[in-house]
A and B are shown apart, each in its own frame.
Chain A
């Protein structure tokens, strides 16, 4: 076999594996919708994951959110000044953070932390037979491990994003104050006046979809992890890559949809 035909074989095997992966992920995702409304609801587990996946992400996202606002203000101010539009800075920061940067950056940060964590945790449970142990104890592992984590991520993401949005806007104010001694009241009045219902709700609501993606991809990669520590490591890495790509791709669709619906 020459190098050319070997390359074609590898490419077709890769394509086939890719399609199989998409099919398996679709089946795995559909199962969520058939399981989520059936008892038992495992609320104790959901509460535990809200803390693990959500509250424990706060230090990281707080730092990122604040610095994001700070940098955005510092970078934008000179350009706005050049066009004599410096007074629009609070509105510009608020709109870009609330509509796009806040949701997407937060989702990518949380994907890095949470999706890999879920994949590693579920994957190691798979290779150490803990998932089998759940089944033998009469527990549906999909409901217990996947549904609870996906629900927690879906609930938590909009809350984290709203919090990050606020911190980023505050970061913008701090940057403004350092350089231009802007008034707190004036800055936030401008921010509030610039935002409408149609800026805030779609921006925050789409993060629920991002949360769902983070939870389902992390769980899927963990559930399908190869045996051994290497398999778990690969699952964790793949979870971050897949979740990040899906977030950006879905964001593109949701932006278009939002513009179509809200103008």
Chain B
């Protein structure tokens, strides 16, 4: 479903990613683990076309993203959902309007259907009471849930999660991770999650990739990672040994 091959991204003289390759099969939940500032979010933003690599190839659903015309890219993005690190809710809109936004853009639904879909999504994330609130009235955890609801409201084929549990307390972080896992099971979406939260990776991932030193250095299942000898992977998975 997603094939990233040998991409290079740099900002001025600073090389962020070099020789990164990644394969995400349909229906899988790939988690990219790595230390802060290693370029996880940059990789995610390149896949959805928000950043353009200098070289390499990114194919999503059979289409090359690099060099794609804006109109084509916007068409392809209709198949994506994206949960931003700080939710990125439109702060001039209510929760209802935030959720309606992608539906009004991409789905040919009647007003009744839009209202029903918005309420259904809010029930899924247990925030129906917040429907008429502004984002500024919500807590960090609530914003993440609404961001999640907005990302999946159009039933996208692929959902990208950028640090879905960052800045949350462990209990809320676990709830969010479980919610992601539950929603993926329910809607059968393919997902790519970037995080440095091991608990989130354990709950969500079918496969884990370790991003380090500008490239993917190791990948495997959670259990395989537990047995890894690679120093950074050990530092993540067996901190008491490392």
Count how many pairs of residues, one from A and one from B, have CB atoms less than 8 Å apart in the complex: 47
Partner of A136, one of B48, B90, B92: B48
B159 to chain A, nearest CB (A): 11
> A51 near B: Cβ within 8 Å?
no
> B105 near A: Cβ within 8 Å?
yes
> A63 near B: Cβ within 8 Å?
no
A161–B74 Cα gap in the complex (Å)? 39
Interface positions, chain A 111-138, Cβ under 8 Å from B, are 121, 124-125, 128-130, 132-133, 135-138
A138–B72 Cα gap in the complex (Å)? 10
Q: Is the CB of A137 within 8 A of B102?
A: yes
Known: A137-B105, A138-B106, A139-B105. A129 touches B86 (CB 8 A): yes
Can you list, as one digit per residue, whether each of B70-92 has a CB less than 8 Å from chain A (1) or not (0)?
A: 10001101101010111011111
> B45 near A: Cβ within 8 Å?
yes
Q: Is the CB of A128 within 8 A of B88?
A: yes
Interface size range of chain A in the complex: 10 to 19
Known: A129-B84, A132-B50. A138 touches B91 (CB 8 A): no
Can you list, as one digit per residue, whether each of B90-116 has a CB less than 8 Å from chain A (1) or not (0)?
A: 111000000001100110000000000
Q: Is the CB of B91 within 8 A of A130?
A: yes
CB-defined contacts of B102 to chain A, threshold 8 Å: 137
Q: Is the CB of A136 within 8 A of B50?
A: yes
> A226 near B: Cβ within 8 Å?
no
Known: A132-B45, A132-B50. A137 touches B77 (CB 8 A): yes
Can you list, as one digit per residue, whether each of B36-64 has a CB less than 8 Å from chain A (1) or not (0)?
A: 00000000010011100000000000000
Q: Is the CB of A140 within 8 A of B45?
A: no
CB-defined contacts of A137 to chain B, threshold 8 Å: 77, 101-102, 105-106
Partner of B90, one of A133, A135, A138, A140: A133
A124–B135 Cα gap in the complex (Å)? 14
A139–B102 Cα gap in the complex (Å)? 9
A132–B50 Cα gap in the complex (Å)? 7
A100–B200 Cα gap in the complex (Å)? 64
CB-defined contacts of A129 to chain B, threshold 8 Å: 84-86, 88
CB-defined contacts of B92 to chain A, threshold 8 Å: 121
A236–B92 Cα gap in the complex (Å)? 18
B58 to chain A, nearest CB (A): 15
Closest-by-CB residue of A relative to B45 is A132
A-B CB proximity, top 5 nearest: A138-B74, A129-B88, A133-B88, A136-B82, A138-B77
Beyond A129-B88, A136-B50, A138-B105, 13 additional pairs, beta carbon < 8 A: A128-B86, A128-B88, A129-B85, A129-B86, A132-B45, A132-B50, A135-B50, A136-B80, A136-B82, A137-B77, A138-B75, A139-B74, A140-B70
Q: A interface vs B, CB < 8 Å?
A: 121, 124-125, 128-130, 132-133, 135-140
